Amino acid sequence: MLTAIAPAKINLSLHLTGRREDGYHLLDSLVAFTHRGDRLTVSPAPALSLEVSGPFASHMPDRPDDNLVLKAARRLQTHTGISQGAHIMLEKHLPAGAGLGGGSSDAAMAARLLCRLWNISPDEQTLATWLLPLGADLPVCLYGRPARMQGIGEQLSPAAAPALPVLLVWPGQALATGEVYQQASIPEIHGYSAGDFRNAGNDLQAPAIALCPVIGEVIAALGAQPGCTLARMSGSGSACFGLFATDERAALAAAALSGQYPHWWMMATAIAENEEMPYADAR
């Protein structure tokens, strides 16, 4: 039996740089991962199966076959010719439609755990190519450490991200990524450096707020907390993040905001160091 955390993904910055003829947007984003997220466990079984639990289990598709975790597992079987099965348990702690990459992170970690369970070892680039059709965040979630993400998500290069405490806040309203991108415009000027995320921004934030105004309220509430050094939306929303100088400040902000907005979901965690997220094996 193998188990691991599928960490929440944060887009510290995100810029749109163009659009392909097939409609896919090109982007330039600094991505980092946190220490907390969903939990996945895989164990040997005759066939593939998925069991979902946790506070956001109800956010999962009604049909298990529509879950990205099973789709990733099946693609892995197809490309490797593996006939072995596995029982996959997903403990869902991240909301869906929040811009935190929960589904992609789950699928990526499931694929990595299954490679270990089935004793197969495709290289990272090959595995990313197999899974890219499932979503643009799959390659960076497989990478699992701070990265500059370009193209449609398939171009990755190592990057530095600060190992700072972070408070994630989701106002309870999901956003469809496609709808946000449809409302977004591509800036004519890109004075953006991947390492200078504090002075960069998220080109999807304004169109997301137009579709879901409460996002602006979340950003303002986070930014008003003592010790918050940056408040911004992640990905295509609707979750936002606040960076803090200390764990204590992040915890105090979580307590204060929970009292003011009891219907908002929050998770206090920290950005992971500049290294691959470790496996947590269970035996």
Question: Of the candidates 158, 180, 195, which is a domain's last residue?
Answer: 158
> Average pLDDT over the chain, rounded to whole?
92
pLDDT in tens, 2-52: 999 999 999 999 999 999 998 889 999 999 999 999 999 999 999 999 999
pLDDT in tens, 235-249: 999 999 999 999 999
Question: Of the candidates 133, 158, 183, which is a domain's last residue?
Answer: 158
Domain co-membership, 266 together with 127: no
Domain co-membership, 124 together with 147: yes
Domain co-membership, 55 together with 148: yes
* Active-site choice (28, 38, 106, 137): 137
The HSE-up count of residue 81 (CA atoms within 13 Å, CB side) is: 0
Closest to 142 (Cα-Cα) out of 123, 152, 128, 155: 128
Domain co-membership, 152 together with 24: yes
Domain co-membership, 194 together with 219: yes
Least confident of 63-67, 249-253, 268-272: 63-67
- What's the average model confidence in pLDDT over 163-178? 95
pLDDT of res. 278: 42
pLDDT of res. 194: 64
Domain co-membership, 84 together with 142: yes
Q: Is 9 labeled as catalytic in the residue annotation?
A: yes
156 pLDDT above the threshold of 60: yes
Range of the domain at 90: 2-158
Percentage above 90 pLDDT, the chain: 84
Are 139 and 156 within 8 A, CB to CB?
Answer: yes
279 pLDDT above the threshold of 60: no
Residue 9 CA, chain-centre distance (Å), reads 3
pLDDT of res. 59: 83
Confidence at 282, pLDDT banded by 50, 70, 90:
very low
pLDDT in tens, 77-107: 999 999 999 999 999 999 988 999 999 999 9
**What whole-number distance in Å separates Cα of residue 11 and Cα of residue 172?**
19
* Active-site choice (9, 71, 106, 203): 9
pLDDT of res. 274: 66
Q: Is 106 labeled as catalytic in the residue annotation?
A: no
Closest to 6 (Cα-Cα) out of 155, 138, 188, 171: 138
Domain co-membership, 128 together with 170: no
pLDDT of res. 196: 85
pLDDT of res. 66: 86
